Amino acid sequence: MLRKIPTTAVPLSISEILKGFKSFFGKKSYIEEFEHNFARYMGSNYAFSFNCCTASIYIFLKTLKKLSNKQEVVIPAYTVPTLVLPIRKAGLKPVLCESSLDTFTMDFERLSDVVNDNTLCVLPIYHFGFPYEIDSLLKLASEKGFFVLEDTAQAPGAMLDGKKVGTLGDAGCFSLCRGKNFSTFNGGMLVTNSDEMAKIIREERDLLPRQGFSFKIKIPLILTLYSLVVRPIIYGSFYRLIAPFKHTTVHDSFASKQFSDFQAIIGLGLLKRLDEVNDIRLKKGMVLYDALKNNEHIILPQITKNSTPVFNHFPVVFKEIKTMEKVQAGLWERGIDTGRMYLKPVHHLYDLGYDRQKELFPNALYIAERLLTLPSHPYLDDNSIEKIIGVFKSL
């Protein structure tokens, strides 16, 4: 089958990419305009752009070190493992909190046993674009005196109680990297309402190096290829060439740089369409959710009351690994690719000082070993949705 639905995709037209060439002429900087529009969209006072979300987290943690001498940063035991890198680079200690089988992310009921007088910051993470209540976290933060950075990398535009997630804590970070709802191939954003934090963040961000000349030359080609390879007919036809470029290894470092004007122009265009794209993802995701929610072989994340998820991916945790493997093979045969995301909990990939002889985070391990992500992007057509539902019905 030549046509295959990729695991994730951002509809990006060649005409949108061509607009980026405006950055090659004149002296106007589009980054400030993009940051202003992003802040306005989020309902925040300030927004700052970076070359990746990891860099935005790093700069935020450096900012906190100027405001506090505490040393520990709490993250879920099941999450993107490279969160360890900016924490360590900032000279801080990563601490894990068990994950929840209800939300597939941090279990707030266990958080009080993890935080202490040395806790600097907690990162609630909206995995796969699903918002969830963080009122108990914010209350605990107020009582214990730690900061809250909402990791909204996969949930730009998601709503909770009428507010956009990423604006509920002290700050929110977003990813513009490939695989996200809103992508300029790479990039990250940091938003906050704090005047004090914004001043320090700006100072730290402006010290970062700018993108080099070679990047400015390559990024139009990279974005063009990216816009093409996620289209089902091209993805299927050239899969053997595309597959080696998928991330399969754990990073051991990252570079912190400023965003580029070319990408800022692309971002301005995509930002105007973000709500439209999220609405499409929501409709497709809910069709799948309603069809699969009663399947006895799987677990789906709970959808929080008064929330609007944006379905960066459609996550499914299987009760049996063999069932997951059967479904994955069956979907591939029908032209639908799937993803495995993070194959191990964070402490299985980085030495964080936890005892490996006794599994301290069994829920995180359970999720990592059994989670499969299904596509939920605009290139997922109705026929493919029916194929997905059919494979699960056959279990």
Domains of the chain by residue range: 14-206
Q: How far apart are CA 285 and CA 373, in angstroms?
A: 12
- Measured CA angle at 74 (ends 68, 77), to 5 deg: 165
Instruction: Say which CATH class 14-206 falls into.
Output: alpha beta
Q: Reading across the β-sheet that carries 163-164, which strands appear in turn?
A: 163-164, 159-160, 307-308
Residue 271 buriedness (CB in 10 A; 0-12 / 13-18 / 19+): middle
274 within 8 A of 152, measured Cβ to Cβ: no
Print pLDDT tens along the chain (395 aa): 679 999 999 999 999 999 999 999 877 889 999 999 999 999 999 999 999 999 999 999 999 999 999 999 999 999 999 999 999 999 999 999 999 999 999 999 999 999 999 999 999 999 999 999 999 999 999 999 999 999 999 999 999 999 999 999 999 999 999 989 999 999 999 999 999 999 999 999 999 999 999 999 999 999 999 999 999 999 999 888 888 877 666 777 899 999 999 999 999 999 999 999 999 999 999 999 999 999 999 999 999 999 999 999 999 999 999 999 999 999 999 999 999 989 999 999 999 999 878 899 999 999 999 999 999 999 999 999 999 999 999 99
The Cα 360–Cα 337 span in angstroms is 32
What residue spans of the chain are helical by DSSP H? 14-18, 31-42, 53-65, 84-89, 135-144, 195-206, 213-229, 232-237, 239-242, 261-292, 321-333, 346-349, 362-370, 382-393
What is the rounded CA–CA span in Å between residue 253 and residue 143? 34
Residue 222 DSSP one-character state? H
Alpha-carbon distance 235 to 76, whole Å? 33
